Amino acid sequence: MEEVITLLRESGAMLEGHFLLTSGRHSDRYFQCAKLLRYPDKAAAALAGVAERIKADLAAGRVEIDAVVGPAMGGIIVAYELGRQLGLPAFFTERDDTGAMSLRRGFEIKPGQKILISEDVVTTGKSSGECAGVLESLGAKVTALACLVDRRAADAADISWPLYPAVKVNVQNWEPEACELCKKGIPAIKPGSRKF
């Protein structure tokens, strides 16, 4: 896991400051994982540990996976890279014109198909939950969640599936009204891509 932190730092994927996260919470660090994932060799190295743990659990019958699905944009490259390392198909869900998560482009779910959801960063698990909702409404069974960075707060709600993170990072983050950086009058910036 230390190696993953080094890869994040070296590639400029770990930023420090005052950030408004897509979840609505405020934080003193922000992960722009695309900056690491732009290097295919670093993406492969950062996710190798996740793939190894999943392979071991697949072999032992502790988890079943037929395909890897990531919510766009952040989950696409992580899903692709894990699909490549696990020898499984990988595709993605994305937001439609109304902002609702959906499965498009003719991607199909077979009844009972076992899905590993893959994300770049898990903060609250909201995107994963939306992605899972779409897939399960089409008959899939979500069996696990993988991510590059698990940055959930200590008070975050539990995630419904076994979680395979490349690295677990303890980052300060707050509801806006409780934000320590807002109290100091430091302006927050919104670095993510989701529209509000």
Q: How far apart are CA 6 and CA 152, in angstroms?
A: 20
Does 42 contact Zn ion by CB under 5 A? no
Closest separation in Å from C-beta 175 to Zn ion = 9
Does 153 contact Zn ion by CB under 5 A? no
The Cα angle at residue 81 between residues 100 and 23, in degrees rounded to 5? 35
Does 181 contact Zn ion by CB under 5 A? yes
134 backbone dihedrals φ, ψ, rounded to 5°:
-65, -45
Q: How many CA atoms lie less than 13 Å away from 166 in the CB half-sphere?
A: 28
Among 182, 191, 192, 194, binds Zn ion (CB under 5 A): 182
Does 188 contact Zn ion by CB under 5 A? yes
**Are 25 and 174 contacting, i.e. CB atoms less than 8 angstroms apart?**
yes
Does 5 contact Zn ion by CB under 5 A? no
Closest separation in Å from C-beta 89 to Zn ion = 40
Q: Please identify, among the stretches 3-11, 34-42, 100-108, 173-181, the one whose residues bind Zn ion according to the rule CB under 5 A.
A: 173-181
**Are 74 and 151 contacting, i.e. CB atoms less than 8 angstroms apart?**
no
Stated as kind and residue range, the H or E segment containing 149 is: strand 141-150
Does 179 contact Zn ion by CB under 5 A? yes
Q: Is 145 exposed, middle or buried (0-12, 13-18, 19+ CB in 10 A)?
A: buried
Q: Which is nearer to Zn ion, 82 or 179 (CB)?
A: 179
Q: Please identify, among the stretches 24-32, 91-99, 109-117, 145-153, the one whose residues bind Zn ion according to the rule CB under 5 A.
A: 24-32
Closest separation in Å from C-beta 29 to Zn ion = 13
Q: Which is nearer to Zn ion, 169 or 182 (CB)?
A: 182
The SS3 of residue 182 is helix
Count of C-beta atoms within a 10 Å radius of residue 78: 29
Among 25, 26, 42, 152, binds Zn ion (CB under 5 A): 26
Q: Please identify, among the stretches 42-50, 71-79, 133-141, 187-195, the one whose residues bind Zn ion according to the rule CB under 5 A.
A: 187-195
Closest separation in Å from C-beta 9 to Zn ion = 23
**Would you state the structure tokens that stand for residue 130, as one six-digit string?**
């939306």
Does 171 contact Zn ion by CB under 5 A? no
Count of C-beta atoms within a 10 Å radius of residue 131: 28
- Binding footprint of Zn ion on the chain (CB under 5 A): 26, 179, 181-182, 188
